[in-house]
Amino acid sequence: DTAVSQTPKYLVTQMGNDKSIKCEQNLGHDTMYWYKQDSKKFLKIMFSYNNKELIINETVPNRFSPKSPDKAHLNLHINSLELGDSAVYFCASSQGDSALGGYTFGSGTRLTVV
C-alpha cells in the first residue's frame, strides 16, 4: 500500500481554470504538507497543516488553498491557474509537528498549464 498517494499524477489544463490535487496518507501521521518543485528543481514548502493549525508560506498566492476533510487527507485547490503554476507538486506527511523522523513524500503531481 502506498503510504502517501497523490492524484492525479499528471494534470494538463488551460490558463484560468480551477483544479484540485488530492493527497491521502495511510500512515496515521498528524501533519501534512504541500511542496512545489519548479523547473530548476527547487523544493519550496507551500503549506503545513495538522488538526491544530494551517501554516501558509507567505510567498504562496492566495489562489492556492489547502483543504483537509480529515486527518488523512490534504487536498490542494488552485484557482485561476497561471503559466507560472506549472511545476511538480508533492504532498508529504510526518508524525507530529517536528522534523524528527523525517517526512514521507508522495510521488508528485506534474501540473502543466497551457
Binding residues for another protein, rule: CB under 8 A, are 4, 31, 33, 35, 41-45, 48, 50, 55, 57, 90, 92, 94, 97-108
Structure-block grid coordinates of residue 19: 483544479
Q: Measured from the CB atom, is 73 or 110 closer to another protein?
A: 110
Would you tell me how many other CB atoms lie within 10 Å of the CB of residue 26?
12
**What is Dmax (Cα atoms) for the chain?**
40
Q: Are strands 10-13 and 109-113 parallel, antiparallel or unpaired?
A: parallel
- CB 48 to another protein: min, Å: 5
Q: Measured from the CB atom, is 79 or 86 closer to another protein?
A: 86
Looking up cell 498517494, which residue turns up? 5
Query: Cis peptide before 8, with omega less than 30 degrees from 0?
Result: yes
- CB 33 to another protein: min, Å: 7
- CB 16 to another protein: min, Å: 27
Q: Give the separation between CA 9 and CA 27, rounded to whole angstroms.
A: 20
Q: Measured from the CB atom, is 86 or 104 closer to another protein?
A: 104
- CB 68 to another protein: min, Å: 14
